[in-house]
Structure 1
Amino acid sequence: MKTTQRLTEAYETAHRVSFNDRSKFIIFSDVHRGDNSLSDEFAHNQNIYYHALNYYFDNGYTYIEAGDGDELWEHEKFKYIIRAYGDIYTLISEFYRQNRLYMLYGNHNMELKFEEYVEQNLHQFYDIYEDTFDILFPGLRVHEALVLEHEDTQKEILVVHGHQGDFLNDQFWPVTKFLNRHLWHYFHVIGFKNPSSPSKNMHKCHKIERNYSKWIKENKKMLIAGHTHRPKFVSNTGESYFNTGACVFPLGITGLEISDGNIALVKWHIRPDSTGALTVYRDVLKGPAHLSQFMY
């Protein structure tokens, strides 16, 4: 099935969110929270991510997690992921309690499209220290897509993970997940690259991005995605395509901020300050630019 067709299906069934120039969103994708083991690519960025989420919580942002927040291909039991990052899930649940959380599923956490799975694993979790079940995300609905409707410009922004139409990661995902869990999970620890991943294959990444641009031209909508792990602020040919990047880079995490009607690509990373102490910094990589400036 073509990417453009799948994106259109996602757009037509998307959860719609109206916003204005007073609204604030932070969009992260491809967090890939694992079990904090040797193969967990998120582990080295967990403190940066936690600090960034605290900043956005304190400053009134709504958190949009655009898929692949949890690494459910490599780790069969969700309880081990929550056990590894209980403090992070507790913080995310604070966004949820204040109605400031939207969660999408991607190919690596496709199980979240099933309401029964979400109810069993995310509505509550077992606290091994207190020997009790604690409330986490009661009643959570995980979506395939969001459409952000800007009241001031009437522009629509489709937010998806971006795996739609990527055959190995969409229609064929159960088989790809099996191979990832029982083969590439071990191979990538020693340096082998997974051929199904666009983040490890630039030819595949460029092909996917061309399909994104085609959909934007045909439908005259702005598009925000993740999946490729390649941060993007408007495509090379001028279409209004933005990519969050990922939270598994060796030197930090990237995301997209929307506030005051502007959109910006930001990076959070650690570097030494003037005294040599390691400090988490936020840098603006591209933007901010007002939504009215873009093509659609």
Structure 2
Amino acid sequence: MKLYKSAPLVLLVAVLTQSCVSNKKYAALQTSYNELQEKSRDLNQKYQGSQQELSGTSSRVKSLEEQIASERSNVKSLQDALAKCLNSSSQGNVNISKLVDEINASNKYIQHLVNTKNKSDSLNVVLTNNLTRSLSREEIKDVDVQVLKGVVYVSLSDNMLYKSGSYEISDKAGETLSKIAKIIKDYKDYDVLIEGNTDNVPIATATIRNNWDLSALRASSVVQSLQNTYGVEPKRLTAGGRGEYNPIAGNDTEAGKVKNRRTQIIITPKLDQFMELIGKAPEAGGQPAKTN
């Protein structure tokens, strides 16, 4: 009879004990979730800064090309003016000498701008060739290297880098990342942006809210691998995620989704050094050439 009465008490203790365990698990998940939110905000801030720097580099390249076109147009105008002076009175002799000097100075500056752009392009070509030659035939299938608007893009497929639906770096990605890290370390005057991209298939887990989180966490994993495993200077690295919003193919086919699930390593010259090259204009007549 006593055993019968104590049975509800035992059951109550068991229920309370199980509830405590669930609360602990919930608290742990909540803490992990909060940390990931904070980390995601930090990554997005760094990413925005890096995007602005990347945009600045592209603008500088475009500005350089516009300067070249403008200077060529200026030379043509000066040559036309010179032709008119040749047909004018003796007063034109002084103007002719001045125009000749201006033409020579403009031609020197045009050549300087062309050489500056060629130097930047040549460095990128050498970097790309060195990286491509270091990869095996198998690795080339999962790695795409391109130079666009003065910037080197190394696109890595998620099949090679990560475990499915995860941001953990896979074992087979190590050798490829080590080769990319060596090139990055060889070119110390370049900054590196790691950019994660996904397809449009939604994801939601206890620690990953959506594709924004997944893309940012994957980029962060590559950054930390380059830093901690392969010794790349962390101050040169930035991690950012673009989620599903930067596709390079349609998401209506599986092949398109595979292309969109990628992580890009974007290697760019540092802006201050690029502007220093442009600012070093040749001298004309003993005076520095104007760069307005």
Structure-1-length-normalised TM-score: 0.29
Query: Based on CA coordinates, which of the two structures has the bigger radius of gyration?
Result: 2
Structure-2-length-normalised TM-score: 0.29
Which is richer in helix?
A: 2
Which is richer in strand?
A: 1
